Amino acid sequence: MGGLAEDVAVPEPYPREFRDDVMRVARDRDPGVTVEQIAKDCGVHPMTLCTWLRQADIDAGTRPGVSGSDQLGDYASASKIRSMVTAPSRCTSVFSQGDQG
């Protein structure tokens, strides 16, 4: 039974050093050179580079938003909440099976 998740190729994240180098080139670009040109030259999608630049500004505190480390905490909390919500339903199904015999 092939689900959608099995059919979608998820790209590997770019290495941190590569992202840092591309962002440095984008920030130090000459006048008239666009972020799109740099992204194309480096083999990344322009929106990806814009996202990296925006998140770096947020992490540096120069732009409002949720820092990368805060996002990781939010993901962990959401995962815990999901497991707490689904655990009782699993227990209920186990106990209800025992009542049938």
Please indicate, yes or no, if residue 39 is contained in any of the structural domains. yes
Please indicate, yes or no, if residue 69 is contained in any of the structural domains. yes
Tokens of 91: 């227990």
Please indicate, yes or no, if residue 31 is contained in any of the structural domains. yes
pTM here? 0.56
In this prediction, what percent of the chain has a pLDDT beyond 90?
Answer: 45
| DSSP assignment letter at 100 | T
Give the chain's domain count: 1
25 Cβ neighbours under 8 A, 6+ residues apart: 38, 42
Domain that holds residue 90: 10-98
Please indicate, yes or no, if residue 4 is contained in any of the structural domains. no
Please indicate, yes or no, if residue 1 is contained in any of the structural domains. no
CA 52 to mean position of chain CA atoms: 11
Please indicate, yes or no, if residue 3 is contained in any of the structural domains. no
Please indicate, yes or no, if residue 2 is contained in any of the structural domains. no
- Higher-confidence residue: 89 or 8? 8
pLDDT of residue 73: 58
**Four-residue CA torsion sign, 94, 95, 97, 98:** positive
**CATH number of residue 19's parent domain:** 1.10.10.10
Helix axes 46-60, 16-27, angle to 10 degrees: 90
